[in-house]
Amino acid sequence: MIGVYLSTSHLICLKKDKLPCSLSGRCAVATGKLLISDCWNNRVKLLNKDFKVKTHSDMHEVPRSMCSIDECQVDVAVDMTSKHEIIFIMVKKGRLEKTNASASLIIKTTCTSLLVHLHCI
């Protein structure tokens, strides 16, 4: 059974957003920071504890999905007709930092969802 105890609305748009925010993905890192991907504005946004945008990172393509890899790394699937890529983003000291271009992964097919599987031995 799933229960909802409290429901609130939050504006997660930036002044520089040209379109309303369209949530295409979300994840939390181990530190409790929440990230969302906005596919209409091609941005990944880091939210604070009050669900206000603390910082953001512009994507060169449409962010489709994201998942947390470890306590400070998030992988973002960006996808358009001509290019399919997974971009690695680090969450450091309340900022979003893209790793260097060689650390991204270019794939040959459309990627609309990411999932990490942690296997404990």
Domain layout of the chain by residue ranges? 23-107
Cβ neighbours of residue 116 closer than 8 Å, sequence gap 6 or more = 67, 68, 69, 75
The two tokens of residue 18 are: 């040209």
User: Distance of alpha carbon 109 from its chain centroid, rounded?
Assistant: 20
Quote the strand ranges of the chain, DSSP E: 23-28, 34-38, 43-47, 53-58, 62-68, 73-79, 84-92, 95-98, 105-107
Which of 10, 80, 89, 68 minimizes the C-alpha distance to 42? 80
When comparing pLDDT for 83 and 26, which is higher?
26
Confidence bin at 102 (pLDDT 50/70/90): low
pLDDT given at position 84: 84
- 23-67: per-residue pLDDT in tens? 888 888 877 888 999 999 999 999 988 888 999 999 888 898 898
| pTM beyond 0.85 | no
The two tokens of residue 93 are: 């000291």
pLDDT given at position 115: 67
In this structure, are residues 29 and 72 in contact, taking their beta carbons and an 8 Å threshold?
yes
Tell whether domain 23-107 is in CATH 2.40.10.500.
Answer: yes
pLDDT given at position 58: 92
